[in-house]
Amino acid sequence: MGDFGVIGDVSMVIVETLTQALRGLSQVEPPIAELNDLSETVQTPPPKLTVFLYDIAEDPSSRNRPPVRSRPPEPPTVRKPPMALLLRYLITPWGGDQATQHRMLGRALQTFYDDAILDGAQLSGSLAASTDALHLSLTPLALDQKSWVWYAIQKPYRLSLNYEVRVVNLDSAVETAVRPVRSRVFDGTPTS
């Protein structure tokens, strides 16, 4: 289950996955992935793939899930269902020549195509040892939509990938104690 740090944990899982995938691209100076909000100039060398979280939304298909009940031997409690989040990332190559940048993008595409579901040992932080799975998909944005993302961060457009990660479960912090039913009375009168 994901606590309040789950968004940061998902970002770090993506960075670690991409850094692992980029290791074989160059013997001299292998590219790395880094979490970056693109507010400053990206420092190279080495060549980098920046991972920028640019949007967080609630997944509408996961609303109206039932409350989460505690399991014995815990005292009985009820908690709101986790908030299901969609995280949208901009993945951009920096440094090196154009061919290196294109190879970095190709490797990122290949990595998330071959392993579009990150789970189990691939997860870390609050997601480690959980049954959660992160589903990554390339987001089909038109060129004008991509341009708006770059315009919003006040940077010139660069070739980049837009990925959506779903469903990231953010647990509720509010638990309500539940008293078990100990007896009931049935008086036999019909109700209308």
The model's pLDDT over 17-51, given as tens digits with 9 standing for 90+, comes to 999 888 877 667 788 889 988 888 888 788 899 99
How many Cβ atoms are within 10 Å of 109's Cβ, its own excluded? 14
- Say which residue the tokens 């770059």 belong to: 150
Per-residue confidence (pLDDT) for residue 109, from 0 to 100: 93
CA angle 60, 109, 95 (to 5 degrees): 115
Per-residue confidence (pLDDT) for residue 2, from 0 to 100: 61
d(CA 122, CA 114): 14
- Mean pLDDT calculated for residue range 100-111: 91
Closest CA to 59 of 138, 144, 147, 164: 164
Per-residue confidence (pLDDT) for residue 134, from 0 to 100: 86
- Mean pLDDT calculated for residue range 92-110: 89
At a CB cut-off of 8 Å and minimum separation 6, what does 74 contact? none
Q: What residue type is assigned to position 81 of the chain?
A: P
At a CB cut-off of 8 Å and minimum separation 6, what does 181 contact? none
Decide: 67 and 80 in contact? Cβ < 8 Å: yes
d(CA 127, CA 9): 7
Q: What residue spans of 45-168 are helical by DSSP H?
A: 98-114, 143-152
The pTM for the full model equals: 0.78
Choice among 9-13, 41-45, 188-192 with the minimum mean pLDDT:
188-192
d(CA 77, CA 52): 37
**All domains of the chain, ordered by start, with CATH?**
6-177 (3.30.2000)
Closest CA to 162 of 185, 137, 186, 184: 137
Residue 57 DSSP code? E
d(CA 100, CA 158): 15
